[in-house]
Amino acid sequence: MKANGMKGKADMAFVSARDAQFLLNGIPFYVHGFNAYFLMALSFDAECRSKVVDLLKQASQMGLNVCRTWAFNDGGYQALQTSPGVYDEKVFQVNL
């Protein structure tokens, strides 16, 4: 999703700050967010990807515009980091 809420390829718009106000393309931007630490692990499993897409759609419908997730899963099943300093590129490259 584009930073401005339009569907399609992400553009390069970034949120900036002026004094105590966040701005997106010069327009005030208010963060309405949530944490979802599990998104990376779910999105790697093809059978679970629709759950990730559904979660993001539901969050958007509720007015949430920021999702914080974590890129971790060390060792074991679907590990991002298979051993210290060694990463599985397939996990990084999941496409929804």
pLDDT (tens digit, 9 = 90+) per residue, 13-35?
889 999 999 999 999 999 999 99
Residues 51 and 11 in one domain: no
DSSP assignment of 40-62 equals HHHHHSTTTHHHHHHHHHHHHHT
On average, the pLDDT of the chain sits at: 82
In this structure, of 31-35, 68-72, 76-80, the range with the lowest mean pLDDT score is: 76-80
Number of separate domains in the chain: 2
pLDDT at residue 80 greater than cutoff 60:
yes
- 8 A C-beta contact, residue 65 and residue 33: yes
Q: What CA–CA distance (Å, rounded) separates 54 from 51?
A: 5
Residues 87 and 54 in one domain: yes
Range of the domain at 70: 32-92
Q: What CA–CA distance (Å, rounded) separates 66 from 32?
A: 6
Q: What is the pTM of this model?
A: 0.65
